[in-house]
Structure 1
């Protein structure tokens, strides 16, 4: 009945379109929209990026010239890659759009010989369309017949898995359904916008995980209500008016454990199956807590980036077999769940001398930053190193792929080493990869969500079409970063020394004043904070694949940037800087990186004017109006404050004018000032 009503609506709109629709001037050879006659047969041939549109949709009309331009520039290459751009007019072919559950326009979807694959969620620009099609054409699984390995789980079967009866790992998906036997079937989900999209990805994922001995299963929540409610998936039981928050849930079941064996994937749902593969493999590894040797850790520290890839973070529990207690290992069990929320975070244990390994890593760092023969040789400050690395055993070390700067948990007592919140606070503070690729989706997080110890985001522009130059730009950035870290850590250490000296001075003064013993003891007990701020986040942009990214994220520059250029962002103010200390374009030269960061974060009496002058991200003001950025960076409150000040000044001026008039009136009277005439002689 519902389908019949939809068809009638499409028919009525089709009549309207016949009367009032307009045809656009398309390029020669531009394909006509697919219809019910050829939709299925055409989509059987290779891959298709399909636009479902309405000629009465303003967004569709705005997209039309971009879509046609993309087709004109790409269709010949697309034929070689076996991917085609197609369209469906939902006014003329309402049956197709109703069957495919098209709820909005324009709706961009990827199809293959086996049907729907995924939605296109990128920017509606030619570069984004072309990059998407090239990427998907290179994925052989898009054209392969998917034979899902996922098993339909009954409530009884799932309960046994939860009790630890499974001999292998199980990745389980939970669905707002009652009787799905195969999730790759063409099923109409009620109020679950992402279910159809994800069902295809789940089938591909189940085949992929089979290679790693990870079983997959799926559970129908509407026929297993009690289980799903207990797991916190109650929203999968009843469909509300808005299905935006109804989406499949994913969890990993670890075998041979009866407690702490169920881990829910908490990050946003995606069709990128590599994300779930990494989640399942990493969680299983963290449950095992494998041992790492000193040699393996040095391999982590010295890892090269060729090509650039996701970097792993390695949290290592370091202990001494002679002094460790069985209870000391309990904290590892409690860390598994919170660590699962941090991408690429792996948990290990080690009996090696990791303080010695850390010292070797810093020595390698200093070997890199002594590149300038005109400067005095730099060396590791042993006192500062001792201050930052001497803790009790056991303790935690954090190593990052390719990073010469390890981090040591400041645990000085058994209480601190068993404090989960304190450990996770420290982990979250330092769990930033050595370098991250900037995207439109993560840029806001880089500016605002990461810990406050980071003052700047550094963006180096790279070009993946020139891989050797790209890697060199990254390496130069690292050396400049390490050179700055030498300065930063020296400053942090000096702050601590100054605090110590100040504390000793206050104690001496109290003693000389013969103050009460309690006051002296309180001063002695006061802890000296180990400040560790003004750090930087390293990122890169691939200008070969992300041509418009800088403008899209609000970095509107008048310079013609190229690979090797660098942009620095002040996370507190939102200003970005693209000139070095000499007023030239800032590049990945180590000396420029170090000097510019020093000028921004540790300015002396002669701060360089070029570095001091920055531009505000997403600012509408340029040229003579740049001074208004001071107001604009505070958002609506900045304008409100300015408005209040201007209104107050206006009222003050009126009051002052009125006061002057009143004074004049009081001194002159109604007839003015009386001047007594002198008598004539």
Structure 2
């Protein structure tokens, strides 16, 4: 029996299903890129959420090259952009010249971030203009909730003349507050946030917003905030290292920052020498750290345990830090000699926290290892783990004075000591070298710039890098994975400490006798300590850099590391181990399973199979892979030999051929001569 009514109803339902299905799953290539903003809708649109705006000219070749990349980024990021309330917009500076004049656009293409309060910052100069980098910039911008605020922070920075600031520098002993001061390529900027035309200073507009925030929060840390117009006070700015800001030019420059200490324990005037940062806390933390370091606070075992007994993993993720703080503790000898002014200044220039303690600090050093022992005793099948008493005694008997370096989040210190003949400047050189080696040692973010990547891979002190992949959108999972990595790292160090003791015991009977002497709590002589240190220095070290990368924030890490694509991709919890010496990486074990931090024990055993195989309980080796695009040294050497062989072979063939020709010529000549005769 036929029911026309039901057929019509089914057809209508089918059309509705197709319509809603299609509207729910819009294909990327069907998403229409919106028309450029104009004077009619520019301000209205920018008041809604965040906007990454491309100011362009239709006659600019670079703009034309960017257009398909921009459109691809818009389409791929469209659905996510709606959720994050951040949008890709464009302005045609030929058709809407008034907008570009108002925004001081001086080149094309010019990519900027805007929020409800107006201009926020420029697209980073060092970032590529690629689809991945544009999306990464959008995600990072949306993650900062301050960008969505509708009102700008008003600047309370005080405009000061060069002469007035010179007077403050000379009379800082009478002041309790330190002074943060910014230097600008301007002549009459009274308020640091007032609308100003900066020639050749693209970063100045972004930094105005930064300095306003600095002026709001720095006074809470007992720091006053000022700014100087360098075009008005040329001689003063030139005297203090900011001559490039005194003259108008179109060569690119950045504003400068300095700090003036409120005491004479170290030099008073400090110039900020790192690349310009747009994070206000960078300058406030730098200033407060300099004030603290100038006093070199005393620290105890209890203080260290309090500092480290925090959930640093959570703070790392929530604060979006690049790395943990580094603390350097100066351990005084029995003469109780304080650090010199020169050493204090050299250490403070490295952005580390400087502390001090006396020689009795080492008497209870085993208390530092108690929290680590608690962490690593997670596997009952391995038995109770306690640090070897010989290793503890080894630390207790280091030559003093010495330095102990703590990276925040790591209870285990790196120790810098020298033989008795080493002066304070000699010990300082050893410390600076060690700090450079430890740059990426504990839970640092994978660098994003080419320069920093080169530094990472040129540092061969630590041969291996363990890279933890996380997805910060899944914060609880990321905390778990980073926590497991932390435990595995401590567990690895526990085994490594046993390796150190075993190697020393194998050295000779004299070193064995020194360990026996230490076990009876008899203090070693200076010469005996030197013998012990000399033997320790000869041991092949197996330290490791532990780092992480957020796959939602850093979309280009695979390209920077030259990792191949894999069907399942790289997901939260994955581990990548990189051998910097051989230029190879490990992502799987011999069974083909992905390396990850789901199991603390398996991760620790994976590390031991590479570095200390005789200490590993696992019989599963790792499956190495060479980066597809890497210029591997072995291939390079083989290639050179092949080219050399081909070159020699060709020359020998040529010589034989020429020899035959020559011989034929002689025979022919003789034959012609015979005919003439």
**Could you state the TM-score of these two structures normalised by the residue count of structure 2?**
0.78
Q: Cα deviation per residue 1:358-384 (whole Å; 9 max; x = unaligned)?
A: 322334434443444554654423333
Contact 1:43–1:111 (CA<8 Å) still a contact in 2?
yes
Gaps (5+ residues) in structure 1?
1-24, 505-523, 621-627, 664-669, 671-681
Counterparts of residues 208-227 of structure 1 (less than 5 Å): 208-227=217-236
Query: 2:589 aligned with 1:585, yes or no?
Result: no
Counterparts of residues 505-584 of structure 1 (less than 5 Å): 527-528=534-535, 529-531=537-539, 533-546=541-554, 549-558=557-566, 560=568, 561-580=570-589, 582-584=591-593
Query: 2:153 aligned with 1:146, yes or no?
Result: yes
| Distance of 1:525 and 1:400 partners within structure 2 | 26
For 1:211, what is the secondary structure of its paired residue? helix
Aligned to 1:257: 264
Contact 1:581–1:596 (CA<8 Å) still a contact in 2?
no
Aligned to 1:483: 491
Tell me the CA shift for residue 498 of structure 1: 4.7
Contact 1:462–1:543 (CA<8 Å) still a contact in 2?
yes
| Distance of 1:159 and 1:662 partners within structure 2 | 86
Gap change, CA 1:168 and 1:575, over 3 Å in 2: same
For these two proteins, the number of residue pairs brought into alignment is 603
Tell me the CA shift for residue 172 of structure 1: 0.6
Tell me the CA shift for residue 53 of structure 1: 2.1
Gap change, CA 1:660 and 1:473, over 3 Å in 2: farther
Which of residues 62, 66, 89 is equivalent to 1:60? Answer: 66
Which of residues 193, 202, 224 is equivalent to 1:184? Answer: 193
| Distance of 1:649 and 1:501 partners within structure 2 | 58
Tell me the CA shift for residue 273 of structure 1: 1.7
Contact 1:263–1:337 (CA<8 Å) still a contact in 2?
no
Aligned to 1:312: 325
Larger CA deviation: 366-375 vs 222-231: 366-375
Gaps (5+ residues) in structure 2?
1-27, 513-530, 664-669, 671-677
Contact 2:74–2:88 (CA<8 Å) still a contact in 1?
no
Counterparts of residues 425-436 of structure 1 (less than 5 Å): 425-430=433-438, 432=440, 434-436=442-444
Aligned to 1:21: none
Contact 1:313–1:431 (CA<8 Å) still a contact in 2?
no
Tell me the CA shift for residue 242 of structure 1: 2.6
| Distance of 1:365 and 1:618 partners within structure 2 | 40
Tell me the CA shift for residue 251 of structure 1: 1.0
**What is the root-mean-square deviation in Å for CA atoms of aligned residues?**
4.0
Tell me the CA shift for residue 532 of structure 1: 5.9
Query: 2:473 aligned with 1:465, yes or no?
Result: yes
Aligned to 1:596: 606
Larger CA deviation: 420-429 vs 649-658: 649-658
| Distance of 2:178 and 2:97 partners within structure 1 | 45
Tell me the CA shift for residue 609 of structure 1: 8.8
Aligned to 2:89: 86
Query: 2:177 aligned with 1:173, yes or no?
Result: no
Aligned to 1:201: 210
Contact 1:201–1:272 (CA<8 Å) still a contact in 2?
yes
Gap change, CA 1:217 and 1:226, over 3 Å in 2: same
Aligned to 1:105: 108
For 1:223, what is the secondary structure of its paired residue? coil
Tell me the CA shift for residue 569 of structure 1: 0.3
Q: Cα deviation per residue 1:581-626 (whole Å; 9 max; x = unaligned)?
A: 5442212233332333233234569997952632226438xxxxxx
Query: 2:634 aligned with 1:630, yes or no?
Result: yes
Gap change, CA 1:602 and 1:306, over 3 Å in 2: closer
Tell me the CA shift for residue 306 of structure 1: 4.3
Query: 2:136 aligned with 1:128, yes or no?
Result: yes
Contact 1:484–1:597 (CA<8 Å) still a contact in 2?
yes
Contact 1:47–1:143 (CA<8 Å) still a contact in 2?
no
For 2:564, what is the secondary structure of its paired residue? coil
Query: 2:299 aligned with 1:292, yes or no?
Result: yes
Gap change, CA 1:218 and 1:55, over 3 Å in 2: same
| Distance of 1:336 and 1:205 partners within structure 2 | 26
Tell me the CA shift for residue 329 of structure 1: 1.6
Contact 1:74–1:130 (CA<8 Å) still a contact in 2?
no
Q: Cα deviation per residue 1:264-312 (whole Å; 9 max; x = unaligned)?
A: 1111112122222221222222223223232121123443334141422
Contact 2:187–2:232 (CA<8 Å) still a contact in 1?
yes
Contact 1:267–1:341 (CA<8 Å) still a contact in 2?
no
Tell me the CA shift for residue 572 of structure 1: 1.8
Aligned to 2:626: 615
Aligned to 1:674: none
| Distance of 2:271 and 2:465 partners within structure 1 | 32
| Distance of 1:499 and 1:167 partners within structure 2 | 56
Gap change, CA 1:129 and 1:219, over 3 Å in 2: closer
